[in-house]
Structure 1
Amino acid sequence: MVFGLGKSWDARGKNCYVTGGSQGLGLSVATQLASQGASVTIVARNVGKLKAAVEQLEIHHQSSEQTFRFHSFPLNTSAGSQSALDAECQALSQQSDGAVSAPDAFFLCAGSSRPGYFVEATEDILVEGMEQAYWVQAWSAHAAMKKLVREQHPGKIVFIGSTLSLMSFIGYASYSPGKHALKGLAETLRSEGLLYGIDVHIFFAPAMNSPGLLEETKTKPPLTTAFEAGDEILSCDDAARLMLNGVRNGDHHVGATLITKIFYNASRGAAPLVNPCLGPILDCIGWIALPFWRRDCDAKILKARDEHREHLTKSEFSPEKKKVGLIFILPLLMLLADVAIFCMIILY
């Protein structure tokens, strides 16, 4: 559907596959799909949470033809994502006597964020950041697209990006690069998907009142928290509803808040325009307002330099401590060298 014209997507009777569906946004998406008459399969790692989530989905049954189930697989590797989809395709084939062999729509909600300063991040943190922000969805999309193409089955793939897919600031060095990459992948697959009748969408998720947000606060730098103090925080149910509305309308870029819509219009590039009337207006707002917003952010960061140096001094990462150490170590090494030379002269 283009510019709101054409037939909208209906979840009723569809087989939907939701990764990260045991909690947070993924569970809200799964629940609303169930309420709209879809059969839903959720994928995550924690079996206990998956069982509880499926029980919740059962409450939203709309017809006797709906089915709800879960698979427990890690999705951070190609093999894990492929195994999860293979398990679901086998289950679909068995329940339909071979008539159905692939889901109709994929909602890729798995992932997490661990904010922090880049200079304090370890190799493991940076690798895991890219894994959770990009690969955990990219591998599932890869498996999904191959399956749909082989089966010649039109379908949908929905990525979950972030407002940080469109911009970034201090504290998100391990997360935002992966989300930017996810936006690039979604736009690439939207183009390639035209060959196969596969629609691709990306939802730029705002801050949500979710288990993930609680985890983020454990490592989030004070400056990052200060920048986000005025952000609108949505419930997962509201975010899921807005996302599904955009998917239903056929929007490639889907936003939930005004600020996100301003950012995705300002950085749209060659992606399809969601709203030909509102889009240019938001472009103008972004062109005027965003430079002032960025300048304000930079001023706050510069003002916090001394406080940040104090933080580094107290943490394991401390240039001052290293410098002090060298001041004492170098004279000691020179003294030992002089003693060694003196001893060699005496012995000689």
Structure 2
Amino acid sequence: MLFLAAAFIVAFVLLLYMVSPLISPKPLKLPGAHVVVTGGSSGIGKCIAIECYKQGAFITLIARDENKLLQTKKEIEKYSVNDKQVVLCISVDVSKDYEQVENVLKQAQEKLGPVDMLVNCAGTSVTGKFEDIEVNCFERLMAVNYLGSVYPSRAVIATMKERRMGRIVFVSSQAGQLGLFGYTAYSPTKFALRGLAEALQMEVKPYNIYVTVAYPPDTDTPGFAEESKTKPLETKLISETSSVCQAEQVARVIVKDAIQGNFNSSVGSDGYMLSILTSGMSPVTSITEGLQQVVCMGIFRIVGLFYLGSFDSIVRRCMMQREKSESADKTE
């Protein structure tokens, strides 16, 4: 049995070695590159724009709130590394009208050149029990979180193919790897990005275009603060099992992975474990990554089952406490 296992690992390593020239992209050079960030007026999107600007990129910020965009533009410009850099602001809802999105991106490319990297960071969240969430919320979240990434990507992909280069980043969430209590409206929209990214990567890889899916954990942003106001108790308790990350830290990791052309981008030990557990048939970009997935999958599954058990226990305890409280109210 050990011999067969060893033989399998050796064969796997040889296979990866043979195909490694096909899966190892060249790093994208950010100095002078044109980076478009949707949802770039605050939170992770703003920090990604700042990180790219620090490395010499030209930035196009896209968001709905024009005032926030102008404030963010001023903040980003403080980090310029040369006097040629430009921050362009465009106020548009990327989830409503594809033709409008296509037109504004054409205008951005006329001013700053072809898009070298697109970061789809526009998104929103609604938490609550499945039966308590208004039906139109499901439609709205799918439009913003999914179509809001489809439209900008669709608008730049042809030019990237013509140039035989580019990076497209989809900012998902750890809730796009694991469905949790309270996220029945949010999680499916983030899971959808993974399917889009895998299919798109297979299409564009021959053109030297690489797709990255980022799975940030709970991150200290205005959106997270707003979401926390309406979280069910179960969701809060589950979220408290892991720490809250800073947006700057998350942004650095995402930009680094996008530059390298990594398909998966995760933050911290929990994020690493989830990326291994949910790797499935997703692309790999190095021999090391493939080996880590093969070797760690089993032990991480055991750890994952422990987490799932603890989450189920939290939900069960909350339900019992709620029923006990309701029963006591009826007897009074």
Pair in the same fold by TM > 0.5? yes
TM-score class, shorter-chain normalisation, is 0.7 to 0.9
**TM-score calculated relative to the size of structure 1:** 0.81
**2:284 match:** 273
1:204 to 197, 212, 215: 215
Instruction: Assess if the C-alpha contact under 8 Å between 2:211 and 2:258 holds in 1.
Output: no
| Displacement of 1:278 | 3.4
The alignment partner of 2:172 has SS state of strand
Question: In structure 2, how many angstroms separate the alpha carbons of the residues matched to 1:220 and 1:56?
Answer: 31
Aligned partner of 1:135: which letter? L
Question: In structure 1, how many angstroms separate the alpha carbons of the residues matched to 2:204 and 2:318?
Answer: 46
Residue 298 of structure 2 is aligned to residue 284 of structure 1: yes
Question: In structure 2, how many angstroms separate the alpha carbons of the residues matched to 1:148 and 1:78?
Answer: 22
Instruction: Assess if the C-alpha contact under 8 Å between 1:262 and 1:285 holds in 2.
Output: no
**2:188 match:** 177
Structure 2 runs not aligned, ≥5 long: 1-19
**1:217 match:** 228
Residue 153 of structure 2 is aligned to residue 136 of structure 1: no
Residue 246 of structure 2 is aligned to residue 229 of structure 1: no
CA RMSD of aligned residues (A): 2.4
Question: In structure 1, how many angstroms separate the alpha carbons of the residues matched to 2:319 and 2:198?
Answer: 38
| Displacement of 1:311 | 8.7
| Displacement of 1:161 | 0.7
Aligned partner of 1:201: which letter? T
Question: In structure 2, how many angstroms separate the alpha carbons of the residues matched to 1:85 and 1:300?
Answer: 46
**1:49 match:** 68
| Displacement of 1:248 | 2.2
| Displacement of 1:65 | 2.4
CA gap 1:299/1:230 in 2 versus in 1, 3 angstroms:
closer
Instruction: Assess if the C-alpha contact under 8 Å between 2:238 and 2:311 holds in 1.
Output: yes
| Displacement of 1:310 | 7.6
Instruction: Assess if the C-alpha contact under 8 Å between 1:72 and 1:84 holds in 2.
Output: no
Percent identity of equivalent pairs: 25
**1:69 match:** 88
**TM-score calculated relative to the size of structure 2:** 0.85
Structure 1 runs not aligned, ≥5 long: 314-319, 321-348
**2:309 match:** 295
Instruction: Assess if the C-alpha contact under 8 Å between 2:95 and 2:148 holds in 1.
Output: yes
Residue 100 of structure 2 is aligned to residue 83 of structure 1: yes
Aligned partner of 1:262: which letter? M
Task: Pick 1 or 2: higher relative contact order, CA cutoff 8 A, min separation 6.
Answer: 2
Instruction: Assess if the C-alpha contact under 8 Å between 1:71 and 1:84 holds in 2.
Output: no
| Residues paired across the two proteins, number | 306
Instruction: Assess if the C-alpha contact under 8 Å between 1:89 and 1:103 holds in 2.
Output: no
Residue 121 of structure 2 is aligned to residue 114 of structure 1: no
Question: In structure 2, how many angstroms separate the alpha carbons of the residues matched to 1:137 and 1:312?
Answer: 43
Question: In structure 2, how many angstroms separate the alpha carbons of the residues matched to 1:89 and 1:17?
Answer: 12
Instruction: Assess if the C-alpha contact under 8 Å between 1:2 and 1:250 holds in 2.
Output: no
Residue 272 of structure 2 is aligned to residue 261 of structure 1: yes
**2:16 match:** none
Equivalent residues in 2 for 1:121-160, closer than 5 Å: 121-149=133-161, 151-160=162-171
Question: In structure 2, how many angstroms separate the alpha carbons of the residues matched to 1:306 and 1:182?
Answer: 35
Instruction: Assess if the C-alpha contact under 8 Å between 1:25 and 1:236 holds in 2.
Output: yes
1:225-275 residue CA offsets vs partner (Å, 9 max, x unmatched) = 001113121111000001112122221011112112211211211112362
Question: In structure 2, how many angstroms separate the alpha carbons of the residues matched to 1:163 and 1:257?
Answer: 11
Question: In structure 1, how many angstroms separate the alpha carbons of the residues matched to 2:313 and 2:105?
Answer: 51
The alignment partner of 1:11 has SS state of coil
Question: In structure 1, how many angstroms separate the alpha carbons of the residues matched to 2:159 and 2:100?
Answer: 12
Aligned partner of 2:49: which letter? A
**1:342 match:** none
Question: In structure 2, how many angstroms separate the alpha carbons of the residues matched to 1:277 and 1:234?
Answer: 28
Q: Decide which structure has greater helix share.
A: 2
Aligned partner of 2:187: which letter? S
Instruction: Assess if the C-alpha contact under 8 Å between 2:101 and 2:151 holds in 1.
Output: no
Question: In structure 1, how many angstroms separate the alpha carbons of the residues matched to 2:253 and 2:84?
Answer: 26
**2:12 match:** none
